Each structure stands twice: as structure tokens, then as C-alpha cells.
Amino acid sequence: MISLAGRNAAMRISGKWSYSPPLGLVTLAALLPQDWRFQLVDLSFQQISTQQWEESDLVLISGTVLHLAHVLELIREAKRRKKIVGVGGPGVFHYPEIAVQAGADFVVRGEAEPAVPLILKALDEKRTGLIIDKDRPSELSESPTPRFDLLDMSAYVDMSIQFSRGCPFECEFCDASKMFGRQVRTKGPAQVLTELQALYDLGWRRQIFIVDDNFIGSVSKAGSLMTALIPWMEEHDRPFDFLTQASVDLAKYPQLMDSMVKAGFAAVFLGIETPSKEVLEGIGKTQNVRADLYGVCKAINEAGLEVMAGTIVGLDGERPGNDQCIIDFVTETGIPLVDVELLHAFPGTTLWDRMRKEGRLLFGSDFDPGKQQDYTLNILPLRPMNEVINEYLHAIETLYEPSIFLERTFNHFMAMSKMPFSAKPPRPDAHEVILFFYLCARWGVAWPTRTKFWKYLGTILWKCGRKRAYRFLRCCTFFDHHLQVRERAVEFFRGNTFAIDTTSRVESEHST
């Protein structure tokens, strides 16, 4: 509902407003009666007009925990305007009563497919203050093709589809298995191809993010999808690149990775969290404990997939110098785009429950939607607060330094196997032409990276082809986001000292 990071310079130049669309809402629109008239408002870049308020009979709202304070404001405004209000999504999953207290007529706790008949019944009976909690997980065969036509597709960097729900793992800081269960359910290959055809028919020719929490939750079904997807992509002249998320177990399946590359998968996001096996044990990340994380990243990279990764600073069990461990790991594996985040306990996770029992939640044991921020540490770490924050800042200042990033990115793309097919980058529009010149001016003229940039771009273009050069430039574009994160974090934390007192409160004072 709300864009947390905002638009960076590259997004503004490319004419984009948001990274990906609200897939849940366009899926819900496809589940509801199709004789209804729908309007979608994505509040990450749009506003609700007076006319839209006046024309609406039913207002349906979704968002994450980070958006919940704004969701509650929208509920109150909609009720002030005498609208029927329904709320769903991950933001209210663990605390549906908060939305009811704000005035929501019904709150859906869980998946939309089994809930829609109950929503329609509640509307017909004019029931209010209802929490709809359908225990059975949905069969994804029930899920229709989302109403992509409701989107302003030109506003988004990527489109999104979903193949599976459910995650077999129970990482302490994640609530995916709590919301969707540990049993992995998937759509059939024909369903996925129908959704891709819908996006194709609407003119989309860019990257598609497959939003699954773990794309290989069912390896056999992922393989079946590849069997159907490869010929579809060839018949349609390879209109899309795919990005998804997967567990590190992906490296165990070289045949599947080969099929993914042939099907158009360009990148995969891995939750690395930390190189420390001891710390991984403590947070329940057992799949990472069993794996050689260095070998995993190199195997996936060499298979032809760009590796993106997430890491966390502030986990229990970390030793001093954890930042250098992360820096060394990212440098050795050559991962270009890596998220480095401070540990944040989100409501509903096992981590939140443990921190609450141990009295280590900084903002008290009661959930307060107004205090959920996206980049701050909200727990008392076992190490000194200053030590954790300084290591976080050192990690992002090092890894997000342009010259270091550029060298990592070049090495990463050069390590990839050759593409098993001939592929061209998408035809650029006017905004993308301007963005290309912006990137060249910034990386190749204004910054001290100028020599490296032209050398690396030329080498990749010569040895790896236009498609890999396009992906290299795309990485440089997304680096703007990491620069923005670094600037915000440094502005927030530098010049402040943090101390933990005996009553487990955090005090912040400006240093002199």
C-alpha cells in the first residue's frame, strides 16, 4: 500500500513508480463476481480521488505489517465516508481484531480463494465486525488468472505471478509457513501458461517475478512447469525473463537449474542470512546449515543464474567481526545485489514470540502498528548495540561502494555458463534509452568507476552477448536502491550513540 523506499533516481528516469504490482488484489478481483466494476488504486504511487471515493460501494484493502498503520487510517476514512470495508493480506493475518476495531466490516485471515464465498455471504446478510478465518488451505487450481488488466503496467519495473504457496521450512524470523502452511501447493503448468499469455496479450515484454516463498518447495512440480514453459517461451520468441526466490537446496538439482535457464530464468534470490553455521542453527535455518553456502552460490551462478541474496546483522550468537564475515562471503561468491539488513522481529514470527518472552522487544511487548519501521533494529541484541550498528554500517558502506560492487558484478556474470540459446534484450522504450545514457554518464563518466565500467561492459558484451550485457546494466540500475539504503541508514545512525540501560530500554543521544 505504501512505498517504503521511495523512487530512486533510476526509477524516476525510467518512468517507473513501483517495483511490482499488488498481485493479491488483482487475484481477489478475479475471484469476485465479474459483473462488478473494479478500480485498483496502488497507494505506493497513486492517490484515491474524490470521484473514486464517491463511486465506490465496497472498499477492499491489503498490505503488509509495515503498511498496517496506514491501512487502519484508510479503514477509518472509508467508514467516515459510509463505505463497506473489507481487509486482508499479511498485515492483518496475526492481528485481525485491530482492523475490526478500526471499523472494518470484515477481515480475511488467510487465503482469498476459500474466503470469497464467505465474503459474499457476509455482504448479502449485511454482517459487520466479522473475522473470516477459513482453516483449510486453498487448492491453487481454484485460483483464476489475476485481473492484470486493472494495472497500469507502465508504472512497474516487473510484473508478478505466483506458482506455489507454502514453505516446508520454519525459519525463526519468517512467518510464511504460519500463513500458508508447510505443505507446498502449486498451480498446474496450464494455469501458469494462461497467466503468462494474459500478460503477453497485454503487451508485457519485461521481467516477471514469481513471488513464491520457495519456488522449489516441490522440485518435481517445478520441473514439470519447466517442461511446459520451455516450448511456450520458444514459441513466443522469449518475451520474458523470470526472477524468483528459492532455498539453497536449488544447487542440488543441476538438471532443474539447466531447465530454468532454458525456460528464461535469469536470477534467483537466496536467503543466506549469515555464513555462520552456529547462528543458522539458532534461527532454525536448517537447510542452510546442511549446505556449503560458498559452493551453493557458485554452482547456481555457474549454471547461468544471477544470484541475489539477503543477509542479516544482529542475530543471536553472532561474534564480533560478523560484518567482515558477510563482506568476505559476498566478495568470494561475487554476489552483485545483496541486501544487508538489521534484524527486525515481525509480529507473528517465532522470533517475535521469543523476544517478547525474553523481554527484548524495544517498543514493548504489545504490538503497535505505528512503530513498525523497515530498517531499524527493534530488539535488544545480545551484543552491545553500538557494536551491532557499526558492523551493519561497515558492511553496507563496503559492499555498496560502487567500484567494489562493479567488480563483483563483472566477475559474477563472467562466471556464468554460456546461454544455451540465442536471446536478445527487450526493445527499449524512450525512458529506457534515457536511462541507458544516465547509467553511462554516471558509471562511465562522473564516477571514478569510469575505466572499469567501460572495460567490463565491453568485455561482457563481446564474450557473453547482448542479453548478459543487458542484465549487467540492469544490476547497475538496481544498485541505485542500495545506494539509497546506505544513505538513509548512514543519515539515521551516524552521529548517534546507542546504550542499553538496566530496564531494557534504548536511549539515543546525539554525540558531540
- Tell me, yes or no, whether 442 lies in a domain: no
The model's confidence at residue 134, banded by pLDDT at 50, 70 and 90, is confident
Q: Do 127 and 161 lie in a common domain?
A: no
pLDDT at 501 over 80: no
Q: What is the overall mean pLDDT for the chain?
A: 91
Q: Do 255 and 174 lie in a common domain?
A: yes
End residue of a domain, out of 370, 392, 414: 414
- Tell me, yes or no, whether 275 lies in a domain: yes
Q: Do 113 and 208 lie in a common domain?
A: no
End residue of a domain, out of 371, 386, 414: 414
DSSP state of 445: I
pLDDT at 72 over 90: yes
Cβ atoms 245, 268 nearer than 8 A: yes
**pLDDT on residue 508:** 36
**pLDDT on residue 408:** 96
Q: What is the CATH number of the domain that holds 350?
A: 3.80.30.20
Give the mean pLDDT of 200-222.
97
Q: Do 184 and 78 lie in a common domain?
A: no
Q: Do 367 and 248 lie in a common domain?
A: yes
Neighbours of 232 (CB within 10 A): 18
Q: Do 126 and 211 lie in a common domain?
A: no
Residues sharing a CB contact under 8 Å with residue 74, sequence separation 6 or more, in sequence order: 1, 59, 61
DSSP state of 251: G
- Tell me, yes or no, whether 138 lies in a domain: no
Q: Do 338 and 403 lie in a common domain?
A: yes
pLDDT at 510 over 80: no
- Tell me, yes or no, whether 451 lies in a domain: no
Q: Do 253 and 397 lie in a common domain?
A: yes
DSSP state of 508: E
C-alpha–C-alpha distance, residues 94 and 98, integer Å: 10
Q: Do 235 and 279 lie in a common domain?
A: yes
- Tell me, yes or no, whether 8 lies in a domain: no
Q: What is the CATH number of the domain that holds 73?
A: 3.40.50.280
**pLDDT on residue 101:** 96
End residue of a domain, out of 357, 386, 414: 414
**pLDDT on residue 363:** 78
Q: Could you report the per-residue pLDDT of 217-266, keeping only the tens digit for each?
A: 999 999 999 999 999 999 999 999 999 999 999 999 999 999 999 999 99
- Tell me, yes or no, whether 347 lies in a domain: yes
**pLDDT on residue 503:** 34
pLDDT at 511 over 70: no
CB half-sphere exposure, 87, CA atoms < 13 A = 38
The count of domains in the chain is 2
pLDDT at 502 over 50: no
C-alpha–C-alpha distance, residues 5 and 23, integer Å: 19
Q: Do 250 and 335 lie in a common domain?
A: yes
The model's confidence at residue 81, banded by pLDDT at 50, 70 and 90, is very high
Of 384, 342, 381, give the one whose Cα is nearest residue 358: 381
- Tell me, yes or no, whether 365 lies in a domain: yes
Predicted TM-score (pTM) of the model is 0.92
Percent of the chain with pLDDT over 70: 94
- Tell me, yes or no, whether 503 lies in a domain: no
Domain carrying residue 83: 22-132
Q: Do 188 and 244 lie in a common domain?
A: yes
**pLDDT on residue 512:** 23
**Residues 95, 169, 5, CA angle at the centre, nearest 5°?**
55
Beta bridge partners of 310: 271, 339
Q: Do 58 and 94 lie in a common domain?
A: yes
**pLDDT on residue 4:** 33
